[in-house]
Amino acid sequence: MDLFILTGAGISAESGIGTFRDPGGLWEQHDPRQLATPEAFERDPILVHRFYNWRRETCRRAEPNEAHHALARLDREMTARGDRLMLVTQNVDDLHERAGARVVHMHGQHNEARCTRCGSVHPWTGEMTVESVCPTCERAGRLRPNIVWFGETPMHQGRIAAALGAADLFAAIGTSGAVYPAAGYVAAARHAGIATCELNLEPADNAGLFDIAFYGKATETVPRFVDTLLSEGPGAFVPDGAARP
Ligand code: BJW
């Protein structure tokens, strides 16, 4: 079995981390152009640091939920059987790894700082300010959250493309399908003849591209999905029960 799973903000929603585009979501309350672009950081680093210090603290207080734990169980059991799982998250929280899963962060991580002068990346759990000093080059004022903002290149794209091409099943969990390149992975999977499955609270913007969908809270749908995968394999999620040509 070779699985590719993409997660988004919806998987962490029940851990108390707000999503971006749901009613009352982060981008309804805050303008992403003022907070999540390199230009915004250039223009007003104090504002951007304040926003991410608050987000980092929210993530620090949150705990993994049943959906994170189910994916960690899937990772452990697939590894024990010699199967392959590529778990890619757009989330910048660390709830997948705190549940025990191995995960690739394509949009970076809250708990890391990157130096815009020397390029070094450092674990960072506390406040980050315009006075923070880079542990490597020892310059102050050059650290930023190690997060992919709009207009920047998402991380690990080569590794992600290779894993997507080799998968038997592509599943997207709790993502609105609004932000590229992640929103385009389902089309790439279809193009490669890979079965596609959506688990979401509501249909994503790209819902029409999935072969099969399960709607409901991640803490309910994901453990069921994992149980079925482990007992029946990915064929259970191909509509006619057979692999697509
Ligand atoms: C539940 C649930 C529950 C709720 N259970 N489910 C025009 C066309 C196409 C592309 C572009 C365009 N103009 C610009 C672009 C590119 C741009 C883009 O896509 N913009 C769109 C807005 C149009 N993309 C970029 O700039 C990216 N870079 C790029 O493309 O570089 C070029 C390149 C590509 C490939 C190779 C090389 C180069 C970078 C994107 C960076 C995104 N950054 C953010 C901010 C991170 C920092 C932070 O956290 O502050 O990442 S934006 C934000 O959106 C965050 C998320 O990771 C990302 C995706 O959001 P997600 O996870 O889908 O959350 P929501 O809120 O949208 O959806 C939540 C879902 O959960 C919903 O479906 C709910 O129903 C569901 N849900 N509760 C289950 N309990």
Q: Can 191 be counted among the known catalytic residues? A: no
Catalytic hit among 107, 122, 156, 191: 107
Average pLDDT across the chain, whole number = 95
Going by pLDDT thresholds of 50, 70 and 90, the confidence category of residue 240 is low
**Mean pLDDT computed over 79-106:** 98
How would residue 60 be classed by pLDDT, with cut points 50, 70 and 90?
Answer: very high
Q: Is 82 helix (H, G, I), strand (E, B) or coil?
A: coil
Best of 20, 157, 179 for a ligand 1 pocket test (most atoms within 8 Å of beta carbon): 179
Task: State the distance from the centre of ligand 1 to the C-alpha of 155, rounded, in angstroms.
Answer: 13
Element (H, E) at 36: none
- Per-residue pLDDT averaged across 133-160, rounded? 97
> pLDDT above 70 covers what percent of the chain?
98
Cα–Cα distance, 202 to 59 (Å, whole number) = 24
Question: Exposed (0-12), middle (13-18) or buried (19+): which is 188, by Cβ within 10 Å?
Answer: middle
The C-alpha atoms of residue 107 and residue 94 are separated, in whole angstroms, by 12
Q: Distance between CA 226 and CA 67 in Å, rounded?
A: 9
In this predicted structure, what is the pLDDT of residue 245? 34
Could you tell me the pTM of the whole model?
A: 0.96
Do residues 8 and 239 make contact, with C-beta atoms less than 8 angstroms apart?
no
- DSSP three-state, residue 141: coil
Q: Which atom of ligand 1 lies at the shortest distance from residue 177's CA?
A: 63
pLDDT band at 234 (very low <50, low <70, confident <90, very high): confident
Q: Ligand 1, from 33, 180, 199, 201: best to mutate by most atoms within 8 Å of Cβ?
A: 180
Is the Cβ–Cβ distance between 58 and 17 less than 8 Å? yes
Q: What is the pLDDT of residues 96-114, one digit of tens each?
A: 999 999 999 999 999 999 9
Higher pLDDT, 242 or 201: 201
Going by their DSSP bridges, the two strands 2-7 and 169-173 should be labelled as parallel
Maximum alpha-carbon separation in the chain: 59
CA distances from 57 to 51, 60, 95, 106 (A): 10, 5, 13, 21
